[in-house]
Amino acid sequence: MKEPTRLERLSVEEKRALLKRLLLEKTDTSAREFPLSYGQRALWFIHKLAPESAAYNVAFTARVNPEPDLPALKRALGRLVERHPALRTIFPEKAGEPVQRVLPAAEVDFTIVDAPAEEDCLRAAVVSEYRRPFGLDRPPFRVLFFRTPQRSGVLLISVHHLIFDAWSVQIVFEELRRLYEAELRGAPAELPRCPAQYADFVAWQQGMLKAPESARLREHWASVLSGDLPLLHFASARRRPPIPTGRGGSIPITLGGDLSERLRELARAHQTTLYTVTLAALQVLLRNCSGQEDILIGSPVSGRNQPQWTNIIGYFVNMVPIRADLSGNPPFADHLARARAAVLGALAHQDLPFPLMVEQLQVRRDSAGAPMIQVMFNMVSTPRGTELSRLFTAAPGAPGVVFGNVQFEPFLIPQQEGQFDLVIELTEVQGTVEGVLKYSLDLFEREAAERMACHYRGLLESVAANPQAPIGDLMLSPPERDELLL
């Protein structure tokens, strides 16, 4: 009797999976090599310098109740990986240079973990897995479900920043929910075809930088960043280590509904945005902390200013430097007007990749810290809907989100700490501004970071109450300033 071949031994389901993989390999035009974008190249070099760091891991976490249909969830994740080439991309080197190679097919890295019932132990287990470093010889995308004895659990989606940004989190949330619901019904999900892929963005970026438009961008940033660039000196900071560890901490910031609304009123009165008001206040805080009047802050932009990039998972974000001259003790309202002009100028010239900006301006680099930018500010928005923002609030009793046959609820963990000396990241959630101050453990004690977070909120109270006050009058009293600088 003839022994069955390996193919004949496969089950019907295994044969279908094999056929699907072979068809994908034949038809997927994204399965090829192409260069890294300028932003990716910077992240790749950071990863090479500190491959064990979790500073550039990105996570989506949610408490799930009750336990989902895990086989259906895994199938939905597989469909997501098929749909988005970024999630099956690796980063080999060729002649010492990185390239990105999209695999024609990739098995989703999905693990079910039996987790302890105790909340502290569960949270520690999730954070430990989030911080587990990625190797770039495999797609840096993994999913874990922490199953608890109560038949509920926590979902952790962990991705390296090389292939992911904040906008991508929204895409994953929306599409995974639709794919999961389709798997529960046993019907195909109706998702719109992606009109482009990340390789198209890289090609567009390279073409734009060869076009006449790039000269206008370079001229703008050469003007903004002329002269000696400021290097902030914090009296409360430790000596910077020769190579940063990427370790960081977080301090929550909650403005409350009343202060949030007064700041929005201030923004409307001065024809600007809540983002610009809170940025301008941070510039004043940094003046207080350092005693310096030339302040440079980095702020990320989505990089998705063309419609074809809207529904693509990938690393599109770009950093724009925003510089402020706080000399002359101007009223805060005047400082706010200048901040508004700086922000509008940055947005109008946002397409020049920040790493290229650093290279062309010949900014001094060393392994001790990020070039040019020490402090980052961001106000996170969720333009694609408010449901996802509910999962990123620590407010008690915050409503969850229906996800197929289960409920997603907030399960917040600290993440992306230690990228810069300081980061303030704010989010509008149901009319209230909440946020976090992230700080480098290489430089700051937690007590110093807590004082900065406290004084930042106090400064926002002051500018909301009296925006015409000179910024010198908004400075802390001598005892408070000494406390902040300790």
Question: CATH code at 319?
Answer: 3.30.559.30
Residue 113 above 80 pLDDT? yes
- 175 and 40 in a single domain? The answer is yes
Per-residue pLDDT tens over the stretch 139-183: 999 999 999 988 889 999 999 999 999 899 999 999 999 999 999
User: Edge-to-edge strand order for the sheet containing 100-102?
Assistant: 33-34, 100-102, 89-90
pTM summary value: 0.85
**Measured in whole angstroms, how far is the alpha carbon of residue 271 from the centre of its chain?**
28
- 184 and 236 in a single domain? The answer is no
Give the angle 48-53-57 at the CA atoms, nearest 5°.
100
pLDDT at 384: 46
Q: What is the mean pLDDT of residues 425-433?
A: 82
Q: 325 and 286 in contact (C-beta within 8 Å)?
A: no
Beta carbons within 10 angstroms of residue 457's beta carbon: 19
Buried b (16+ CB within 10 A) or exposed e, 61-70: bbbbbebbee
Per-residue pLDDT tens over the stretch 159-168: 999 999 989 9
Among 137, 172, 189, the domain-final residue is 189
Q: What is the mean pLDDT of residues 77-97?
A: 94
**Average pLDDT in the chain:** 86
Pairing of strands 57-65, 153-160: antiparallel
Per-residue pLDDT tens over the stretch 306-351: 899 999 999 999 999 999 999 999 999 999 999 999 999 999 999 9
pLDDT at 92: 95
Provide, rounded to the nearest whole percent, the portion of the chain with pLDDT above 90: 60
Distance, first Cα to last Cα, the chain: 85
pLDDT at 361: 79
- 316 and 437 in a single domain? The answer is yes
Residue 4 above 70 pLDDT? no
Q: Where are the beta strands (DSSP E) in 151-211?
A: 153-160
Q: Is residue 281 part of a domain?
A: yes
Exposed (0-12), middle (13-18) or buried (19+): which is 408, by Cβ within 10 Å?
Answer: buried
More confident residue, 484 or 457: 457
Tally of domains in the chain = 2
- 182 and 234 in a single domain? The answer is no
Range of the domain at 25: 12-189
The helix or strand, by DSSP H or E, that contains position 290, with its residue range, turns out to be: helix 274-290
- 246 and 376 in a single domain? The answer is yes
